[in-house]
A and B are shown apart, each in its own frame.
Chain A
Amino acid sequence: MSETFQLRGSKPTRQGFGEGLVVLGERYDNVVVLGGDITSSVMTSLFKERFPDRFFSIGVAEQNATTIAVGLALSGKIPFFASYGAFCALRNADQLRISVCYNEVNVKIGGGHAGISVGPDGATHQVLEEIAYLRTLPHMTLIVPCDYLETKKATIAMGEMVGPAYIRFGRAAIPFFTRDDTPFEIGKAQVFREGNDVALIACGAMVWEALQAAERLAKRGIQARVINVSTIKPFDVQTVVDAARECGAIVTAEEHQVHAGLGGAVAEVVAKNYPVPIEFVGVKDSFGGSGEPEELMEKFGLTWKEIYAAALVAMERRDRGFIGYRTVKEVPRYEESHIDANAHPVL
């Protein structure tokens, strides 16, 4: 499937999470929510206002909240616990491994404030490592939706599936472009733009950036396929292998460390099934810092410009006989002359 996406506005993904929980609360009596003191930040406050009897404040105790959720799940509830990803994916890493995943219980975690776009709070709160950890946990389902509406759909879907699941969302308002009829399915990557010259495989906020990069590449006559990997685990192997076979060059883009996240997952699948050159856009082994979200995304190289340049590198490596990055003599860069810079919508 493919469609042309229009910018519909700007909304934070966390709002989609909060609204999705309310929908779940209306549909299912046994959905309960645990708060970790930052309920308005991660918008579980919407559920709390609507269903005060099914909301329990656990305080600043993420390990305890995670395991209490396990006890609730073992008693037939569908517990959601949400906090910042830094605390509810990593602070409680052992609880997730043993009590949630090994137990294979119906615990749902909402990890907010993900990525560099958290902004002024700085490095401690900008989690950039949790995809790497979570996707190694057996039984875990890991969802990284691309905008507000997909986050809402994903939240509802994770409440309706059985088993441990984690959803990653952010703080800042980001482009909102999917529609009610845009397909979303757990475990399925969606082709958001057709093309056979290069594949841009992205998750989260980087999906919109990949679409922007594809528009610019099209002006050079390069048709990029854009794939939204909204579920990192279980991973949609077929869609990615098809892209490798049909495009022959891949760029991955994520608001996460370049190591062991979406890029790592794509590399594992491509190396095994259909090796083609891959370029990785993400945070390159560093911590974040304070600043406004947009300036941080620029600073850490998380915009369509890096995706655009990486696409040219990946295609060059393919065209010169599947060579490695270090043998590319002149690394193509994004050049202003190629692009009408004003075409980039103001976010």
Chain B
Amino acid sequence: MAGEFPIVFDPVTYENRRRQPEEFAEIARMIRRDIIKSLVLAGSGHSGGPLGTADIFAVLYFGGYMRYNPSDWWTPRDRFVLSAGHICPVLYATLANAGAFPKEELRTLRKYNSRLQGHPGRDMGLPGVETSTGSLGQGISIAVGMAMADKLLDKNGYRVFTLTGDGELQEGSVWEAAMAAANFKLDNFCWIIDNNDCQIDGRVHEVMSIYPLEDKCRAFGFDVITVNGHDYAELCYAFDRFISNSEQQIGKPTAIIAKTLMGKGVSFMEDRYEWHGKPPNWEQARIALQELGENIPDPVSIT
């Protein structure tokens, strides 16, 4: 790839992608429907985290913050690393809707030979999956390495986003990565924390408290922005601030703490940690899809 740089992104193209809240809401609903459909067809997988982060993904990928070419993914682009690999149904649904691969492929989630592995596998070559993740606390370090490569060596001006869960922050290596991001002054690095306070065993603050989170991130040297992870204006504000931090080279990485509800958008899943690691059955999926604005009579009719 060397030689094609520095990357020239047309700013107008990306600024034109700033959308009205209603547009983001519609995109997020579409992503959520695809999450439910792929999970019910898979018969296993995580529901809560993907639904809870759909709004973040809608803004990040459809708001012009991530720069990419969906028809030829591996060209110069910004990087997104899903450190919380288990919530990959939301990444797959987002990428498919962004045009990285055909939407029909979402039906193959977790199936034999599918490019949509149960946790992201780089070996499958799915456009948009930058790296394999699934063992918590590693993706963020990989993202730091990517940010270092550009900030300290190549200087092509690409941005690196990573999303971790909040239970994931119990992994000590996350903080090793955070320390390094600040140490190397990676202002091209954006760490999104999906803070729904839910993990498999219960509430994060009960299983092993990670709080006070904002103070921790600030003490580690980040510019910290806490937002409602379902409020499009607040999410846009946070990402705009990161872009500005990056462009002005403030010498600090950015952390966005997104307060979310696990299972957001489906009434019976919302804020219930029981939905961390299981898929809906068909009846539950039917109701969920109905709530998300689509009536489907039976699983065979899922498109």
Contacts and interface: CB of A to CB of B under 8 A. Distances in A.
Interface of A: 30, 32, 54, 56, 58-59, 61, 63-64, 66-77, 79, 94-95, 97-99, 102-104
Interface stretch (B42-50, B62-70, B136-144, B244-252): B136-144
Contact of A75 (B123, B150, B176, B177): B150
A66 B144 CA distance: 11
A27 to B, nearest CB: 15
Contacts of A73: 145
B148 A67 contact: no
Contacts of B179: 59, 61, 64
12 contacts: A58-B180, A61-B173, A61-B176, A63-B138, A68-B141, A70-B142, A70-B145, A75-B149, A76-B2, A98-B138, A103-B123, A104-B123
B135 A98 contact: yes
Contacts of A70: 131, 138, 141-142, 145
Nearest to B147: A71
Contacts of B138: 63, 67, 70, 94-95, 98-99
Contacts of A30: 2
Given A76-B149, A98-B132, A98-B134, A67 B184 contact: no
Nearest to A73: B145
Contacts of B180: 58-59, 61, 64, 68
A71 B132 contact: no
A75 B122 contact: no
Contacts of A56: 148, 152, 184
A52 to B, nearest CB: 12
A53 to B, nearest CB: 8
Contacts, number: 110
A66 B173 CA distance: 11
Given A59-B183, A72-B148, 9 more contacts: A54-B153, A63-B176, A68-B141, A68-B148, A75-B145, A76-B1, A76-B154, A95-B135, A98-B134
A64 B176 contact: yes
Contacts of A67: 138, 141-142, 144-145, 173, 177
Contacts of B183: 59
Nearest to A104: B123
Given A61-B179, A63-B176, A67-B138, A77 B132 contact: no
A102 B121 contact: yes
Nearest to A60: B176
The number of chain B residues touching the other chain, given as a range, is 35 or more
Interface of B: 1-2, 81, 121-123, 130-135, 137-138, 141-150, 152-154, 172-173, 176-177, 179-180, 183-184
B121 to A, nearest CB: 7
Given A64-B180, A67-B141, A68-B180, A102 B150 contact: no
Contacts of B150: 75
A69 B145 contact: yes
Nearest to A63: B173
A29 to B, nearest CB: 9
Closest 8 CB pairs of A and B: A71-B145, A67-B141, A75-B149, A64-B176, A68-B145, A71-B146, A71-B142, A61-B176
A103 B176 contact: no
A11 B180 CA distance: 35
B78 to A, nearest CB: 12
Contacts of B141: 63-64, 66-68, 70-71, 95, 99
B232 to A, nearest CB: 30
Nearest to A94: B135
B290 to A, nearest CB: 38
Given A32-B153, A98-B138, A99-B131, A74 B123 contact: no
A102 to B, nearest CB: 5
Contact of A99 (B142, B154, B184): B142
B140 to A, nearest CB: 8
A103 B122 contact: yes
Nearest to A66: B141
A265 B149 CA distance: 37
Nearest to A92: B173
A99 B132 contact: yes
Contacts of A77: 149, 153
A32 B145 CA distance: 12
A72 B148 CA distance: 7
